[in-house]
Amino acid sequence: MNFFLVYILISSPIFTPLLKGIRVYQACIASRQGDVCNFTPSCSQFAFEAIEKKGILGILMAFDRLERCNYTSWNYVGRYYGVRYVEGRGYKLYDPVIREPLPPTTPVVEGGAPRTFADYLYGKGEWEASILEHEREIPSRDTGRVYIQMGKAYWMMGSRKEARNCLVRAGGDTASLFLGLMWLEERRIDSALCYLQRAGAFRKEVDIFLEDLKYIQKKNPVLAGALSAIVPGSGRIYSGFTGDGIFSFLFVVGNLSISYLYHREGRTIPSNAFLGFASLLYLGDIYGSVRSANLQNERHYDDISLLFRRNFNGLF
């Protein structure tokens, strides 16, 4: 039964006419309007891909995108949107249906000239080769430092489990700092703080970091959705997307007002059409508010990592 329901919501052929309608809009209307969309893919293409991949959720994603396509979107360049040059359209905000994961943070590299050939390989980005060279050094060199370098190389290769094992074997305050940053990037704040507090040699810097950490606030996605359910757009404003919130409010209230005016004139069909459109905008706004809070929290963790590097970069 549950499988059948999922099939109906995501893979049902009922979305085929809607997808074809979007293609007709792109060919007959959008092509004559000129390039008015701020994003790539365009809002209509985003809607097509979202509905095709996500089904009924894609409809909410499409209406959320419509509410975000306003002139204030450019205020979020660099933090929430990338910019790409599109042939024939110029520079556009990059906002795909499936968000691409952020690249891992580069570990702090110790300053000064490379000490060994393994360090040279690490500096050239040849992580695996540097690990092999470091393994040869273990019997004859500072074991703790070698394991730290191996841990950083594994980290850059994306092998976090091996990286943690090396850093744990290295021990010491420096390894604890790297382990703290690693847990920060995996959004495990409690584990990160546990290791940071073990770095006794850097107690002063850790205390400054923890003090700064208090000023980075997280957003509650449930609260954001509830706020927009009560007052359209308020959840987006709460999440830090003030411009999107204002436009969402205007979109929803504007379409409701038009629906009401048609209703007063006894024109049922246009009244119901605008009411339905307003309802989808309303639901899309709730979805978008939850999304905005989650997106803000993703950047929250990025801010923490940046804050860490700002406080500790000079120590390595």
Note the pLDDT tens digit of each residue in 107-161.
444 444 446 777 777 777 788 888 888 787 776 666 788 888 888 888 888 888 8
Q: Is 41 helix (H, G, I), strand (E, B) or coil?
A: coil
Q: Which two tokens stand for residue 66?
A: 């419509």
Judge contact between 53 and 97, C-beta under 8 A: yes
pLDDT of residue 315: 47
Exposed / middle / buried, residue 3 (Cβ in 10 Å: 0-12, 13-18, 19+): exposed
- Per-residue pLDDT tens over the stretch 79-118: 678 888 888 788 888 889 887 654 444 444 444 444 677 7
Q: Cα(301)–Cα(298) distance, rounded to whole angstroms?
A: 5
Q: How far is CA 191 from CA 210, 272, 305, in A?
A: 14, 53, 14
Residue position matching structure tokens 């329901």: 5
Omega within 30 of 0 (cis) for the link into 17: no
- Per-residue pLDDT tens over the stretch 250-303: 999 999 999 999 999 999 999 999 999 999 999 999 999 999 998 888 777 666
Least confident residue range of 9-23, 108-122, 201-215: 108-122
- Identity (one letter) of the amino acid at 254? G
pLDDT of residue 314: 52
Query: Crossing angle, helix 56-68 and helix 43-54, to 10 degrees?
Result: 160
The DSSP symbol for 210 reads: H
Q: Cα(205)–Cα(202) distance, rounded to whole angstroms?
A: 5
Q: Delimit the CATH 1.25.40.10 region(s) of the chain.
A: 117-210
Q: Cα(265)–Cα(259) distance, rounded to whole angstroms?
A: 10
pLDDT of residue 106: 41
What mean pLDDT do residues 193-222 have? 76
Beta-bridge mates of residue 91: 85
pLDDT of residue 11: 52
User: Which of 46-55's residues contact partners 24+ apart within 8 Å by CB, and which partners?
Assistant: 46/95, 46/96, 46/97, 47/22, 48/19, 48/22, 48/23, 49/97, 50/97, 51/15, 51/18, 51/19, 51/22, 52/15, 52/19, 53/97, 53/98, 54/10, 54/97, 55/9, 55/10, 55/11, 55/12, 55/15
pLDDT of residue 261: 94
% of the chain beyond a pLDDT of 90: 24
Q: How many other C-beta atoms lie within 10 A of the C-beta of residue 158?
A: 10
pLDDT of residue 139: 65
pLDDT at 184 over 60: yes
pLDDT of residue 110: 43
What mean pLDDT do residues 40-65 have? 89
Please report which residue ranges of 197-233 form alpha helices under DSSP H.
203-213, 221-230
Q: Cα(291)–Cα(278) distance, rounded to whole angstroms?
A: 19
User: Per the confidence metrics, is the pTM higher than 0.85?
Assistant: no
Residue position matching structure tokens 């999440």: 239
CATH number for the domain formed by residue range(s) 117-210: 1.25.40.10
The DSSP symbol for 26 reads: I
% of the chain beyond a pLDDT of 70: 81
What mean pLDDT do residues 247-251 have? 93
pLDDT at 316 over 60: no
The helix (H) or strand (E) run that includes residue 25 is helix 16-25
List all residues 6 or more positions away from 90 whose beta carbon is below 8 Å from its beta carbon.
35
Q: Cα(101)–Cα(236) distance, rounded to whole angstroms?
A: 22
pLDDT of residue 233: 94
Considering only residues 23 and 105, tell me which one the structure prediction assigns the higher pLDDT: 23
Exposed / middle / buried, residue 112 (Cβ in 10 Å: 0-12, 13-18, 19+): exposed
What's the angle, vertex CA 249, arms to CA 246 and CA 255, rounded to 5? 135
Q: Cα(52)–Cα(139) distance, rounded to whole angstroms?
A: 57
Kindly report the average pLDDT of the chain as a whole number: 80
pLDDT of residue 310: 64
pLDDT of residue 114: 47
